[in-house]
Structures are given as C-alpha cells and as structure tokens.
Chain A
Amino acid sequence: MSPRAACRLEALGIEKVYDYELGIADWKAAGLPIEGPGLGYQTASDAMRGDVPTCKPSETIGAVRTRVIAAGWEDCLVVECGDLVTGRLRRSAWEHDDNTIASEIMQVGPSTVRANEPLDRLVKRMDQRPTNLVVVATPQGGLLGVVIREEAHRVLQGDPLEMIWMDCDGCPGQWRPARPGT
C-alpha cells in the first residue's frame, strides 16, 4: 500500500517522500512504541525483560557458565553479527567441559516470538508445551528480550513487572527493562 501512497504524495507536491514499506507490522514487532485509542490487549513486550545473559558462539563454556550462574540464570542466548540470536544454551550445557566451545553444543536457531504477539496467547502456548522462557526478537532476528512464563502469568493478572520480580522465587537474575529494538 505504501509504495502507491508514496508515489501519490510525490505527485501531490511533497518535495521529499520516504517509504517505510515494512510498515506498522514491522514497527510493532520490533517492540517500538505505538499509540492509539484501540490498544486494548497486552503483548509480549509488556512482560519482556532485557537482562538475559548473552555470549558469542566462540566463547568457552567455562567462561559463559561462570557469568550466567553468577547472574542467576539457567539460560544464555548466543548472539552474533550484532544482536542476531543464533543459538541458545540451556542448563544441560553447563555439564560440558570448561573448554567446550558454545557453538558446538548450542541449540541452533531457537524459536522466537514477536514483541507484538498477544500475551495471553503466548502464555497459553508456554503452558501447553511447557516452556519457561521464550525469546523475543525482531522479524530480522535481533534480540529484544525474553518472557519468563511465571512473570507473564502475573503480568496478565495485572501485576507490574518490577513488583513481580521483587517477590518471585522462580524468576532469574535481576530484572531490567528490555530496550525497544531499532
């Protein structure tokens, strides 16, 4: 739709026209702010946190394990080419020898969800699988944050995320808000 509009705007005398062809779906999926009176439901971005540990594929398990456990997490996301999520190290990864390289044992291409995914639907899926953590990424695979199932349930109940972390025994790490993607 926007290429036609851009062409039309130019014909109507606008001197410089930029076409953001990927549009609002791409914008929302990146977790960027939106406004409008019809925003009536919660999305993954409402329960998203940005303090999940990350590592490079070339790092050793010994080094990564120390960092991840010290931060109070069980998982580590493997990122490369900037912020692209290419792998995930789960708890079982920490049983490997210190010199094992992350890329040798990581789960390649972990599933991700978009920031604009309705939260109730996401939590239902997490309950069914079950899975305790999902990765939130841009459509291009850039890391935005993660959603923890227990926290997401409480967000749906109306609890503020900051408060949830303060009395959540099963939640990892130290809560930090996720940064919107660019």
Chain B
Amino acid sequence: MVERITRAELVDLIESDAVQVVDVLPEAEFLSGHIPGAINVPLKTLDFETTRVLNKSRPVAVY
C-alpha cells in the first residue's frame, strides 16, 4: 500500500537511513537539482530492468 508522506516525514526517513529515494523526473530535471542521494529512474523508463538497482525489500520514497 502506497503511503503519502510530507517533507518532514521524508527528512526523518532519510536521516534514519530508512529509505531509498527515487526521483522519477526526466534526467534533465534531475540534473538541475535533486534530493541528495536520490537515484534517477524517469517515470517513462520505470520497469523491471531499470529498478534492478533498488533493493526491493527496503522501503522506497518516490517523488
């Protein structure tokens, strides 16, 4: 079940190293500034292959 989170909640999750952060914006937007440590997987490319870099048993925060 997807859970919506606020900015403060995301900060807490990142600070406690409890999530992998995924930026689904196009690469150009990702390069113009992203949340530190975020992995770029543009929405249009989101599939089984491109998400192999993620640990599926570890929570993911997406924006």
Contact = CB atoms under 8 A, between A and B. Distances in A.
A2 B48 CA distance: 17
Size class of A's contact patch? 35 or more
Contact of B19 (A2, A18, A182): A18
A15 B11 contact: no
Contact of B35 (A6, A13, A24, A182): A24
A10 B46 CA distance: 11
Contacts of B11: 32, 182
A6 B62 contact: yes
B53 to A, nearest CB: 12
Interface in A48-103: none
Interface string A7-41: 11110111111111111101110101111111100
Interface of B: 1-11, 13, 19, 22-25, 28-36, 43, 46-48, 51, 54, 56-63
